[in-house]
Structure 1
Amino acid sequence: MPATDRTTDRTTEHATVVDGRLRTAVARRLREDDDLLAGGGDRSALRRAIARALAAEGVVAAPDVWARLVRDLVDELGGLGPLEALLRDPAVTDVMVNGADEVHVERDGRLTVTSVRFDDDAHLLGVLRRVLGPLGTRLDRAHPYADAVLPGGVRLHAILPPLATRPTLTLRRVPAVVPSWDQLEAVGSVPGDLRGLLLDAVASRRNLVVAGRAGVGKTTLLARLLAEVDRDRVVVIEDAPELRHPAPHTVHLQVRPATPDGVGEVDVATLLRNALRMRPDRLVVGEVRGREVADLLQAMNTGHDGSMTTVHANGADEAIVRLEGMALLAGVPIDAARAQVAAALDLVVALDRDRDGRRQVAALVEVDLQRDGAGIHVRWSR
């Protein structure tokens, strides 16, 4: 049968959705392909095996159609299906799937709906379970949500009914290269006069927090700042490997989720306590979310100057309130929490988006210790 009869002509977003019958037939042949099993199942071996399976199915097509068909089947059977075409676009940073027939992306700071589709929710769920299986991550009715980092650094979060109305998937891609200061200035994110203040903050070992809402570029700016650290020994703690181009002398620590049986979890707080025994000059926590903030504040207050982290908040004031609240949850009394935050922090860099969706630094504020807690003074703002 010609390839055009075996595929659905939906070439939106530069992708072709492979007909389910052909996908099933090729998948059956792959399970019986000894060369694929012996080759370890990498993408190149899968591509060759799919070509053999298509030939065995009697598929005949022009070279360009054949190449596209093989690519789409590799995506379907070894990747994220139709979403792979979106991830091939370097401008796409986030992909959001709200059920099989609703897929959104973020490009250049703007959210747009795409015409990419899965066959149905069962197809979407099958893709999720296939990519999560080799990672040892469970996704089923008993455990209807999952977080994972896919090969290549794409962060995945999935949640299923009954916790969500339909299977819902969110992908976030970490930039492969940390943007330069000139690039950040060119897009309006970090103006030239602010660059000098930030470089001075790193060189003078100021403790700082990068604050902002989700998706405003907190990790990107943190990575740029970390790249400016010279010879200090830096211990980086993350729940996913996003800070991949750090200072020259860097040790990476990564959290470990619990197994499906609920054992073996290692959280940020545990890694922080280990990091303090590793003779760090600076500590960098990819994001503080809870009780680990108490350990980080103590470290900042006891000689680990130049430490950095990020926090979800709408601005500098809100960032300080959030940090104080997390310290309270860790059991620190309110007066001590306020004093520790004020004494530990030197600077808060607040990020936001402009009306066109572009990410930018909104303000740089200095923090000082006052009688009733942290006081802030604006050093730079738009």
Structure 2
Amino acid sequence: MFTVRVSHPRIGTQVISPSDGVCLLGKAEHAHLRMEGWNVGKEHVRIYAEQGGVYIEGLGRFGAVLVNGERMRAYGPVEAHDEISIAGYRLQIMPRFDNVTASIEEFAYLPLSGTKPPDGAPVIRQSPYWNQQLTEEVTWPTRPVYDAHWLVLVREVHEAVRSQMDLRRVDLGALSPEELRRIVGELVREVVWRMNSPPEFDRQRLVKEVLNEAVGLGPLEDFLADESITEIMVNRYDEVFIERQGRLLAAPALFSSEMAVRHIIDRIVAPIGRRIDESAPLVDARLSDGSRVNAVIPPLSLKGACITIRKFSKKRLQMEDLIAYDSIAVRMAHFIQVCVQQRKNIIISGGTGSGKTTLLNVLSNYIPDHERIVTIEDAAELRLYQPNLVSLEARPANMEGKGQISIRELVRNALRMRPDRIVVGECRGGEALDMLQAMNTGHDGSLTTAHANTARDMLSRLEVMVLMAGMDIPLIAIREQIASAVDIIVQITRFSCGSRKVTSVCEVTGIESGTIQLQELFAFKQQGYDAAGKVKGVFRATGAVPEFYEVMRERGLPVDLSIFQEEEPLRGREAGYVA
């Protein structure tokens, strides 16, 4: 259970201790706290205890909650030190364990794994669900707590709502998303409150889950709203996993049926003109917020329809953020900034989920506003903010197998669009040849990403991708093209602990005896792991100086050769970085 302490300048302070584990706030007569204000709904906010924690959820059109300065629809588990504001009311929610209310002081100490609490400090066991900042390794249950009766109720409500929509002959295509959600929400509430469900069932929760599956993304809605979650993986309708702070965790959510997952996939791909069916059982798409989506359905997926969503930060990341995360050292960041500004062709190399797209977005901040940029992607996910920007997206074939526009065609077309820079989201195949030709024909300063484990592997992959273009080109000619086109390779790595670091920055210096020559300028030297399981190490300069710095000096440009000195290890959070 829990206790809610509510403060307001006019009403003073009230303390609410609901006996049934649910506290309703709003204008309704049955609300535990009658709130006033033009922006307060009848049932405005619901606070409830579930799965060992206390959660707060906004209801209705105005049901937004300000938690620790951030506006959100749902949050939890709530801790006593969380600052919660609702329409001028300040709330302090204090969970109770074993019928004892925990005070703020008792919440001040949350023990890390492997550490011993100080003498006399109470240790509070908290649920890992929805915790915004995980400070310890947690193990989520392998399956959420649902029973068969609950899923049957969800399906029954779905069918009843669908039949009601058919009877009223509502033209769904003519409604805006907000109007559609309002109409369907009214039908769902009407159906739920009329049905004879057992009294122990949470009707508000039932309404929310049915509504999200009917017009939203089902149980994924809450995960998409949680900024601490970076990846959402649906293996089948009753297996959902998430990635939070680099850790994979089984999520407390499931869909009502396999068909519900299929409907949500259709809802994702339809607005961007893509399709998924038995003839095309896999698709790449994106959400309205820019998140990347991949979906696969049977017969390719043996367990059932599966969805993978890669979320991107809503905040515009800067190089200072990567330095604060210890993902890169200050001198390395300064050098990469100079490379972008001096129009060097850069390839960002790394494995899946290593942060290549994020780093590419950060590097794009250094492109001057007066330059014209053309971005080319399979599914649009780059976020560039320059004014003279053209974004192109590849198109798959239609049901007749026609109309496909590949990335390679878009790269060739981009050459006719007067670009100062061409940015390709990712090179996977024959488009690498066109990208190299663009780099060699006056489009300096181009950026792209590709999958590889090391900078040397990146060169080998480039050779293979050029051969995939189907052109009968000798290998030595391909290597000469690569050596003259690519200037810098930035290698980024995701470690087992979830940390992402720039592990190598290499310069391509030319070709000798048929082999492309690389000169490593900076490197990350791993030194084991700390007590929390995080990778330890230092960023070091190798002492080598890139060749183009001599050219810059001859042109009278200021150069700082001190960043390449190898006397001291470089610190990721070293002060003094100026963008």
Q: TM-score, normalised by structure 2?
A: 0.60
2:310: which partner in 1? 172
2:397: which partner in 1? 258
Distance 1:177 1:296 in 2: 30
Q: Do structure 1's residue 54 and structure 2's residue 191 form an aligned pair?
A: no
Query: SS at the partner of 1:223?
Result: helix
**Alpha carbons of structure 1 residues 177 and 223: separation in structure 2 relative to 1, 3 Å:** same
Query: Which of these residues, 95, 104, 120, is aligned with residue 241 of structure 2?
Result: 104
Query: SS at the partner of 2:321?
Result: helix
Distance 2:167 2:329 in 1: 58
Query: SS at the partner of 2:508?
Result: strand
Please identify, of 351-360 and 29-38, the stretch whose mean Cα deviation from structure 2 is larger: 29-38
Distance 2:496 2:294 in 1: 28
Query: Which of these residues, 206, 210, 226, is aligned with residue 89 of structure 1?
Result: 226
Distance 1:58 1:339 in 2: 69
**Alpha carbons of structure 1 residues 245 and 281: separation in structure 2 relative to 1, 3 Å:** closer
Which structure 2 residues correspond to residues 122-271 of structure 1 after superposition, within 5 A? 122-167=259-304, 168-230=306-368, 231-271=370-410
CA deviation after TM superposition for structure 1 residue 271, in Å: 0.8
Q: Do structure 1's residue 333 and structure 2's residue 474 form an aligned pair?
A: yes
Which runs of no fewer than 5 residues in structure 2 stay unpaired? 1-21, 23-49, 56-127, 131-143, 525-579
Query: Which of these residues, 11, 18, 22, is aligned with residue 157 of structure 2?
Result: 22
Distance 1:218 1:105 in 2: 20
Please identify, of 76-85 and 130-139, the stretch whose mean Cα deviation from structure 2 is larger: 130-139
Matched-pair identity in %: 37
User: 1:218-275, CA deviations, whole angstroms, 9 ceiling, x for partnerless residues?
Assistant: 0111111111100221111111221123433221111111112211111111111111
Distance 1:205 1:248 in 2: 18
User: 1:121-149, CA deviations, whole angstroms, 9 ceiling, x for partnerless residues?
Assistant: 33323332344345443333332222222
Query: SS at the partner of 1:46?
Result: helix
**Alpha carbons of structure 1 residues 275 and 286: separation in structure 2 relative to 1, 3 Å:** same
CA contact (8 A) 1:368 1:376 kept: yes
Distance 1:203 1:131 in 2: 38
Distance 2:289 2:168 in 1: 26
Which protein has the bigger helix share?
Answer: 1
**Alpha carbons of structure 1 residues 318 and 178: separation in structure 2 relative to 1, 3 Å:** farther
Q: Which residue identity lines up with residue 323 of structure 1 in the other structure?
A: L
CA deviation after TM superposition for structure 1 residue 74, in Å: 3.1
Query: Which of these residues, 368, 375, 380, is aligned with residue 517 of structure 2?
Result: 375
Query: Which of these residues, 464, 484, 501, is aligned with residue 343 of structure 1?
Result: 484
CA deviation after TM superposition for structure 1 residue 350, in Å: 0.2
Query: Which of these residues, 319, 324, 327, is aligned with residue 458 of structure 2?
Result: 319
User: How many residue pairs align between the two structures?
Assistant: 372
Please identify, of 31-40 and 364-373, the stretch whose mean Cα deviation from structure 2 is larger: 31-40
Which entry has the higher C-alpha Rg, 1 or 2? 2
Query: SS at the partner of 1:19?
Result: helix
CA deviation after TM superposition for structure 1 residue 341, in Å: 0.8
**Alpha carbons of structure 1 residues 132 and 238: separation in structure 2 relative to 1, 3 Å:** closer
Distance 1:157 1:300 in 2: 30
**Alpha carbons of structure 1 residues 119 and 232: separation in structure 2 relative to 1, 3 Å:** same
Query: SS at the partner of 1:103?
Result: strand
Q: TM-score, normalised by structure 1?
A: 0.89
CA deviation after TM superposition for structure 1 residue 182, in Å: 1.6
Distance 1:159 1:343 in 2: 40
Q: Which residue identity lines up with residue 516 of structure 2 in the other structure?
A: A
Give RMSD over aligned pairs: 2.7
CA deviation after TM superposition for structure 1 residue 176, in Å: 2.3
1:307: which partner in 2? 446
User: 1:259-318, CA deviations, whole angstroms, 9 ceiling, x for partnerless residues?
Assistant: 122111111111111111111111111100111111110111111111110001111111
**Alpha carbons of structure 1 residues 146 and 13: separation in structure 2 relative to 1, 3 Å:** farther
Distance 1:31 1:186 in 2: 55
Q: Do structure 1's residue 79 and structure 2's residue 213 form an aligned pair?
A: no
